[in-house]
Amino acid sequence: MANVLIWGAAGGIGRALAEIFVTKGHTVVAVARSWQGLEAVTPHVVTSDVTKPEEVAAAVERAAEEAAPFDVFLYAVGDILSTKVAEMSLEDWRRILDANLTGVYLATQAAMPYLSPRAHLFLLGAQHERLRLPGLGAYAAAKAGLEALAEVIRKETRRPLTVVRPQAVRTPLWNKVPFRIPANALSPQQVAQTILQAWEEGCEGILDL
């Protein structure tokens, strides 16, 4: 059985990941800004805001006390905004970049000492080339940057790393944008199942869903 560290475990995909890994008998440490009923999924819950370096560092230390070393690292934190660049505040720009990109840097850096030698890292990305639309500048830029950062992390750590690029997923993020969710949108459970399978099969690189 594996030790699994999930960031953003209170969100739609993050919670689905926590549930499916627990169901398979793995030990899951769930990190989220608030508990939001996560104690019903796993007894190992740590609160943290990924935009605050001191909270991220403290969260990793508490997570390591629960279960370490970690064999699976999953970053499923995300936020989105629909505002044109000319109208976007610096605060909003930073919020989207912090959640989708800077948080990856902070979480991976803090967790590195607690990962097993062959720990598999999964980062939740997006098919950003399809998201270069009016209002989505910050989100598209963050997800494109995540892929570049992921490639560097993979080369530096020599650990298996997968960037998961789902199309539309039925999560509350869609309430923040003025777009209609596609009829073929995936459920969080479908995404979680695919990630679990990718880990079990040792799939690395880019995973388009």
Angle at 114 between CA 112 and CA 119, to 5 degrees: 75
Is 3-208 in CATH node 3.40.50.720? yes
List phi, psi (to 5°) of 29. -105, 115
Q: Residue 152, SS3?
A: helix
Angle between helices 137-157 and 90-97 (to 10 degrees): 40
pLDDT in tens, 91-144: 999 999 999 999 999 999 999 999 999 999 999 999 887 878 899 999 999 999
pLDDT in tens, 141-196: 999 999 999 999 999 999 999 999 998 888 887 778 777 888 888 899 999 999 99
Alpha-carbon span 110 to 59, nearest angstrom: 9
Return the closest-CA partner of residue 208 out of 138, 139, 124, 142: 124
Tokens 């475990």 — which residue?
Answer: 9
User: Is there a contact between 198 and 162 (Cβ–Cβ < 8 Å)?
Assistant: yes
Which residues lie closer than 8 Å to 205 by C-beta, 6 or more apart? 161, 162, 163
pTM for the complete prediction? 0.94
